């Protein structure tokens, strides 16, 4: 066991996995898993996270049916690395190559397929174009969506590089449904997939493309927010409500088929909100955090996350433990009885955390790298480094969630300790890391 902050006189970091209070798979049919990923949604941009006047009744309802996490992290503040880590339970520096998620990784879909699940992916893949990295090669029986980072929702064209082109695919083939709003296609396919697979356990992965640019919420949602003066915020709010409505369709279908008691529903964002010009400079909400997509500040990597599994986890509770999207694969394995992939994972089962607000996080430290930045979190302490100028900042998140007050100079021992942990982790992971992915994923 490594040295930890408690040896420096700080509050003890919880390094041991909690007892398994959450039931594993028994003789009964294993639960379905519905994993919904939003795209570029701000850290706290949901009604149930305190966003004012934002109408997200279906996701707020999901929080009421289950658990809401307040310190849930993704592995990177960008689409591909975050998704690669989510799908594999392994840090993106291990699981992502320069082309996409490595074909020899074991995804949640492959893990569950091995346990007899039917698997479907509808939405934005964005984990690689080569055939070995296609959804169908990564454990999914079905795919409808696109593999690039963004797409026009009506023409299904890609505009952000190269020739303007149509990118919608069903499985491996081009698929045209010109003029139909993509979120409606995704919701319809999700409903159909649920209907088709009522008899068998299924894994439904819905990587939505809202509220990512292009921001194309329907007029009725823009009208709802016409009182919002800031155009960037108005489009973001309308996009989130539009997304929430489609999620409502999926949840309703589970209800209508009597499947909610047999289904784990997970919702999270792939990272923080965008500040790009394509989103009018960014109208996402991360209050009280700062930072956004592309940064390792809390607003880049801390995301809304909800988990509902009636009868399996408590309802209407909050979990404040620092946990991560790396934990979802092992947690799903635990809850479904699927066999864990036989390789080193960076995540750990959240069974204890799900069962109890008082259970410790399975993680002593959490580590991030992205582009030129790196970060380590242990307890309340977060250190943020930048290799381009060797700058360093130490924050106490409990006192300073906005990361405004660099207290490194008055806490040199802690900073030195965390730098040591970072260097140690880098050494441990570097043998597996794709240097290209490491530097600029």
Whose tokens are 């390789």? That residue is 343
What are the φ/ψ torsions at residue 14 (nearest 5 degrees)?
-85, 110
| CA distance linking residue 169 with residue 375, whole number of Å | 37
Smallest gap from residue 222 Cβ to a copy of itself (A)? 9
Helix or strand (DSSP H, E) at 86: helix 79-88
Task: Select the residue interacting with a copy of itself from 52, 219, 399, 431 (CB under 8 A).
Answer: 219
Helix axes 231-256, 182-196, angle to 10 degrees: 20
Stretch that binds a copy of itself, among 126-134, 216-224, 289-297, 368-376 (CB under 8 A): 216-224
278: contact with a copy of itself by CB under 8 A: yes
9: contact with a copy of itself by CB under 8 A: no
Smallest gap from residue 206 Cβ to a copy of itself (A)? 21
Task: Select the residue interacting with a copy of itself from 25, 70, 154, 392 (CB under 8 A).
Answer: 154
Other beta carbons within 10 angstroms of residue 54's beta carbon come to: 23
Characterize the bridge pairing of strands 32-38 and 202-207. parallel
8: contact with a copy of itself by CB under 8 A: no
Stretch that binds a copy of itself, among 136-144, 178-186, 304-312, 322-330 (CB under 8 A): 178-186
Instruction: Give catalytic status of residue 4 as yes or no.
Output: no
Smallest gap from residue 283 Cβ to a copy of itself (A)? 11
Instruction: Give catalytic status of residue 405 as yes or no.
Output: no
| CA distance linking residue 80 with residue 96, whole number of Å | 8
Q: Kindly identify the residues of this chain, within the stretch 362-421, that bind a copy of itself according to CB under 8 A.
A: none
155: contact with a copy of itself by CB under 8 A: yes
DSSP 314-345: -SSEEE-S-EEGGGHHHHHHHHHTPPPPSS--
Smallest gap from residue 152 Cβ to a copy of itself (A)? 5
Between residues 95 and 274, which has the closer beta carbon with respect to a copy of itself? 274
Two structure tokens written together for 324: 């991560």
Smallest gap from residue 216 Cβ to a copy of itself (A)? 6
What are the φ/ψ torsions at residue 272 (nearest 5 degrees)?
-70, 180
Which of 242, 159, 212 lies closest to 38 in space, CA to CA? 212
163: contact with a copy of itself by CB under 8 A: yes
Task: Select the residue interacting with a copy of itself from 2, 29, 129, 176 (CB under 8 A).
Answer: 176
The 46-65 contact track toward a copy of itself, x by CB under 8 A, reads --------------------
For 81, residues 6+ apart whose C-beta sits below 8 A from its C-beta are 75, 92, 96, 370, 437, 441
3-state secondary structure of 299: helix
Q: Which residues of this protein are in contact with a copy of itself, per CB under 8 A?
A: 152-155, 157, 159-160, 162-164, 166, 176, 178-181, 213-216, 218-219, 277-281
Q: Which residues are catalytic?
A: 79, 126
């Amino acid at each position: 066991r490594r040295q930890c902050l408690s040896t420096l006189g700080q509050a003890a970091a919880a390094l041991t996995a909690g007892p398994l209070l959450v039931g594993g798979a028994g003789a009964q049919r294993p639960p379905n898993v519905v994993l919904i990923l939003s795209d570029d949604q701000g850290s706290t941009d949901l009604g149930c996270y305190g966003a004012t006047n934002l109408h997200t009744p279906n996701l707020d309802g999901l929080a009421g049916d289950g658990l809401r996490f307040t310190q849930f992290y993704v592995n990177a503040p960008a689409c591909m690395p975050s998704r690669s880590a989510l799908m594999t339970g392994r840090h993106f520096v291990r699981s992502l190559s320069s082309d996409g998620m490595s074909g020899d990784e074991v995804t949640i879909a492959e893990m569950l397929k091995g346990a007899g699940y039917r698997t479907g992916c509808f939405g934005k893949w964005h984990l690689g174009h080569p055939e070995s990295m296609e959804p169908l090669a990564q454990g999914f029986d079905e795919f409808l969506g696109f593999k690039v980072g963004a797409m026009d929702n009506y023409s299904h064209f890609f505009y952000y590089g190269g020739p303007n082109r149509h990118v919608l695919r069903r499985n491996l083939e081009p698929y045209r449904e010109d003029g139909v709003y993509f979120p409606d296609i995704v919701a319809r396919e999700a409903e159909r997939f649920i209907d088709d697979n009522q008899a068998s356990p299924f894994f439904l992965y819905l990587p939505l493309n809202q509220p990512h640019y292009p921001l194309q919420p329907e007029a009725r949602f823009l009208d709802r927010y016409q009182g919002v003066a800031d155009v960037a915020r108005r489009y973001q709010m309308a996009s989130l409500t539009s997304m929430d409505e489609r999620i409502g369709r999926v949840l309703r279908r589970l209800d209508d088929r009597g499947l909610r008691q047999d289904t784990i529903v997970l919702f999270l964002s792939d990272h923080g909100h965008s500040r790009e010009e394509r989103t009018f400079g960014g109208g996402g909400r991360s209050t009280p955090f700062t930072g956004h997509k592309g940064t390792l500040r809390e607003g880049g990597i801390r995301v809304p996350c909800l988990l509902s599994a009636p009868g399996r986890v408590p309802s209407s509770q909050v979990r404040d433990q620092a946990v991560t999207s790396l934990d979802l694969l092992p947690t799903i394995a635990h809850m479904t009885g699927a066999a864990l992939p036989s390789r080193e994972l960076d995540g750990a089962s959240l069974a204890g955390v799900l069962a109890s607000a008082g259970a410790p996080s399975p993680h002593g430290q959490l580590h991030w790298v992205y582009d030129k930045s790196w970060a380590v979190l242990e307890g309340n302490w977060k250190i943020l480094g930048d290799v381009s100028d060797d700058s360093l900042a130490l924050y106490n998140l409990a006192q300073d969630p906005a990361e405004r007050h660099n207290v490194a100079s008055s806490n040199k021992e802690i900073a030195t300790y965390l730098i040591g942990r970072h260097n140690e982790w880098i050494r441990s992971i570097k043998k597996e890391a794709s240097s290209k992915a490491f530097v600029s994923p």
